[in-house]
Chains A and B, each alone.
Chain A
Amino acid sequence: EIVMTQSPGTLSVSRGEGVTLSCRASQTIGNNLAWYQQKPGQAPRLLIYDAATRLTVVPARFSGSGSGTEFTLTINSLQSEDFAVYYCQQYNDWPRTFGQGTKVEFK
């Protein structure tokens, strides 16, 4: 099983700041990685797939990068609606696996 490790566990930031979230795979997964955002009481929402392809409805301040085992999600100029938990997920192999999540909270 491919283990996905996200860091940090929690990020405390102010509105308008930029943040970078990390996700590491225990073995190479090419670019077969997705990022999700989840707010309390809601289902997750797909933001990015294939490591760097942003869904058209996702604001341009979200960007993904990386390949192999190291990936990042960058959020530029954080807005109020961006405070949430973010998960990465690999779909290179079965079983599909998620990272444990990074919580982006208001400082």
Chain B
Amino acid sequence: EVQLVESGGGLVQPGGSLRLSCAASGLALSTFWMCWVRQVPGKGLEWVANINRDGSETYYVDSARGRFTISKDNAKNSLYLQMNSLRADDTAVYFCVRGHKGLEIWGQGTTVTVSS
């Protein structure tokens, strides 16, 4: 069974950092583009960042560029999102997603809350 499982969310103060992880099973991340999508509870979806198969290309939404870093470890079959200088408006559920065009496989999400 193909599965993506996120971890690393939690409560952090404004200005703080968090590293989200996504463990993949049933698929080899080295063969897929991957991304992070977030959703404020009760609100819509926002694409955050993408990374290509070998990790050589990354793309970010403007609000994340310079603060967030998407990376993958194909040997560990894991995807990461390093989030620095967190702000209150980064509070959301973060989904790990497989896909480049249509986003085909979604994890269940991990919740990030930025608050003092």
What residues make up the interface of A, taking CB atoms closer than 8 Å to B? 1, 32, 34, 36, 38, 43-46, 48-50, 55, 87, 89, 91, 94-101
Contact = CB atoms under 8 A, between A and B. Distances in A.
B22 to A, nearest CB: 12
Given A43-B95, A44-B106, A95 B59 contact: yes
Interface residues of B, number: 22
Interface string B102-116: 111011110000000
B47 interface: yes
28 contacts: A32-B101, A34-B101, A34-B103, A36-B45, A43-B106, A43-B109, A44-B37, A44-B103, A46-B99, A46-B102, A46-B104, A49-B102, A50-B101, A50-B102, A55-B104, A89-B45, A89-B47, A94-B50, A95-B47, A95-B60, A95-B61, A95-B62, A96-B35, A96-B50, A98-B45, A98-B46, A100-B44, A101-B45
B100 interface: yes
B103 A46 contact: yes
B107 to A, nearest CB: 7
B104 to A, nearest CB: 5
Chain A interface SS verdict (over half): loop
B34 to A, nearest CB: 13
Nearest to B47: A96
B100 A43 contact: no
- Which of A1, A38, A55, A91 neighbours the largest number of chain B CB atoms within 10 Å of its CB? A91
Nearest to B59: A94
B102 A91 contact: yes
Contact of B103 (A32, A36, A50, A101): A36
A19 to B, nearest CB: 19
Contacts of A98: 44-47
A43 B50 CA distance: 18
A73 B104 CA distance: 18
Given A43-B95, A44-B103, A46-B102, A87 B47 contact: no
B39 to A, nearest CB: 8
Contacts of A38: 45
